[in-house]
Structure 1
Amino acid sequence: MRIDLHTHSSVSDGTRPPAEVMRRAAAAGLDVVALTDHDTTRGWDEARAALPPGLRFVPGVELSCELDGRSLHLLAYLFDPDDPELNAELARLQESRDRRGREMVERLRELGSSVTLGQVERIAGGARIGRPHLARAMVEAGTVASFEEAFTADWIGADGRANVARYALDPVRAVRLVRAAGGVSVLAHPRVERGGAFDDAVIRRLAGAGLDGVEVDHPGHEPADRAALRVLVAELGLVGTGSSDDHGELSGDRIGCETTAPEAFRRLVARAGGAR
């Protein structure tokens, strides 16, 4: 059984519609796939409606959190989509994304870029504006030569001149919100450097708050990081997962390149209250 628990669609910052993500998952030989768009469940219905025969869908989101001034991402699965407290936080996160997108366009223009809000909205295609949409618009406008160049201190990197802070959840609170909504939470790519890698102390702290798992096998993790994470996950009694973190064209259409072991998946589902 092949299981990928971290993918994105054009509902957030992926390039493929949810239905196409499902088709590509089946074509990649997956048996189980999770859709985990940033701070939104809006792609779930389309994904479910497009499921090819034999493919199992896991509903999820990737929650935007912040710890010690650094971005931290938390994958949440199998929660009640009608939970009022979690829904209120998702709405707040999305509203903050909208505000940030508009303000970042203004800053880019102040810095001499010809990027426009209309251009960014066209690229986003109805999704909430994220930095990848801005980066694509910057390349299109000739502001930068490459997608990667946009994510520097000169432009929209974490400490960039055009970057704007946005609302993010405290991760301990996020873990508890997900659990209260009947779901399970997994710390996403803790050793990837873009937002700043998180050490064992952070994982221990989140485990104490009720974290269920850690994304161990991720395209951005080195072999030594994976080995160390496996030891820690086993010590803490957490579930170690593996996922592609596919964003369509932006990530090279890599869906299914990393997978979660079937036993790990079963353990994760068993932790979800009332999961089907």
Structure 2
Amino acid sequence: MLIDLHIHTNFSSDGEFSPLEIYKEIKKRGVSLFSITDHNSIDGVLDLYSKVDIADNISFIPGVEFSCKFKGEEIHLLVYNFPLNDERVTYLIDKFKELKIEQAVKRVYKLKELGFKVDVEEVLKESNEKGISGVTFLNVLKKYPENREKLFDYLEGDKSDSPYTNFYFDFFRKGGYAYVDADLLDYIETVNLLKDEVLVIAHPGLYPKSMIKDLIIDGIKGVEVYSSYHNDKFQNEFLLFAEENNLVATIGSDFHGPNIKPDVDFINFELETNKQQKIKNLLKIL
């Protein structure tokens, strides 16, 4: 049984493939259940529905991945199977766009202080209404010859194997060279707003271990146990955590594409029978 509930398309701020290309690969690999969960956008979900009739032997769950802030940390919240005309989801998407523009302006100032040539309008143009990410910034920065030397590690050097992810981690994550403490969606407010939907904490292994328990508030129904970011030890720990907290265990590759996250394969979770039994409640709530 193949399941992947965390896939990004080119409607995400940092995805490579169209929803139709993703769907064709889904059919080719024999995936039973999948979801498109673009960052702070449902345009990819709407695009897929407009172009294909989902095959009878494939279950598709509409999704979105919201970027939230909780106790100073960025937390990603997966939302599944909501009505596509849900005004709450639209409100959060619009609010996030406003926050990202404010953050982009602050990041531009930081990058200029570091000696980079960069322009706010060029960043907004590059985003093409899909959200502003580290991919957006690196694509803009590398257009200017003046920046090539500073970007050597990411374009040709040691970090060129995964340039976009490495650039984001080095510059924009907390503690990075151009980090700004900008607002994201408030985690508690977002959960409270959508608490009657299927809410899942994405890739918990990326967050401080001491914080995970505090993220389980009323409305959270699952945790992403099987993730490309989790080794066997993490998977076993989070599976036990899910069982202890009466949460469903979900499965997601967090696929973006080989140029964005080359180490993250697409649809890479074929569960043994015993693990399938442990996630049987997942299908009930979806």
TM-score range, shorter chain: 0.7 to 0.9
Q: 1: distance between equivalents of 2:279 and 2:224?
A: 12
Distance 1:225 1:156 in 2: 25
Aligned length: 264
Deviations 1:55-98, CA, capped at 9 Å, x for gaps: 33211111111121111111110123333334322211122112
Matched, 1:271 2:274: no
Single out whichever of 15-24 and 3-12 deviates more from structure 2: 15-24
Change (3 A) 1:179 1:266: farther
- Name the SS for the 2:185 alignment partner: coil
Superposed counterparts of 1:201-220, under 5 Å: 202-220=211-229
- Matched with 1:3 is 3
Pairwise CA distance, 1:242: 1.5
Structure 2 gaps of 5+ residues are 155-162
Q: TM-score, normalised by structure 2?
A: 0.80
Q: 1:203/1:210 Cα in 2 relative to 1: closer, same or farther (>3 Å)?
A: farther
Q: Which amino acid aligns with 1:160?
A: G
1:173 to 155, 169, 189: 189
Superposed displacement of residue 8, structure 1: 0.8
Map 1:27-106 onto structure 2 (within 5 A).
27-51=28-52, 53=55, 54-106=57-109
Structure 1 residues 49, 73: closer, same or farther in 2, change over 3 A?
same
2:256 aligned to 234, 247, 260, which one? 247
The answer for the alignment partner of 1:223 in structure 2 is: 232
C-alpha distance after superposition, 1:112-136 (max 9, x if no partner): 2134446545653441111232134
Root-mean-square deviation (CA, aligned residues, Å) is 2.7
CA contact (8 A) 2:194 2:219 kept: no
- State percent identity of aligned pairs: 26
Quick one: distance in 2 between partners of 1:213 and 1:102?
A: 35
Q: Name 1:191's counterpart in structure 2.
A: 205
Deviation of 1:262 after TM superposition, in Å, equals 5.9
Q: How far apart are the structure 2 equivalents of 1:122 and 1:235?
A: 47
TM-score calculated relative to the size of structure 1: 0.83
**Aligned 8 A contact 2:9 2:16 in 1:** yes
> Does the 8 A contact of 2:38 with 2:65 survive in 1?
yes
Please say which of residues 15-24 and 212-221 is displaced more in the overlay: 15-24
The residue that corresponds to 1:25 in the other structure is: 26
What are the ranges of 5 or more consecutive residues in structure 1 without an aligned counterpart? none
Which range moved further: 238-247 or 113-122?
Answer: 113-122
Where in structure 2 are the equivalents of 1:138-153 lying within 5 Å? 138-139=141-142, 141=144, 142=148, 143-144=150-151, 145-146=153-154, 147=163, 148-151=165-168
**Match 1:256 to one of 267, 270, 276:** 267
CA shift for structure 1 position 23: 2.0
CA distance in 2, matches of 1:264, 1:78: 21
CA distance in 2 between counterparts of 1:259 and 1:173 reads 35
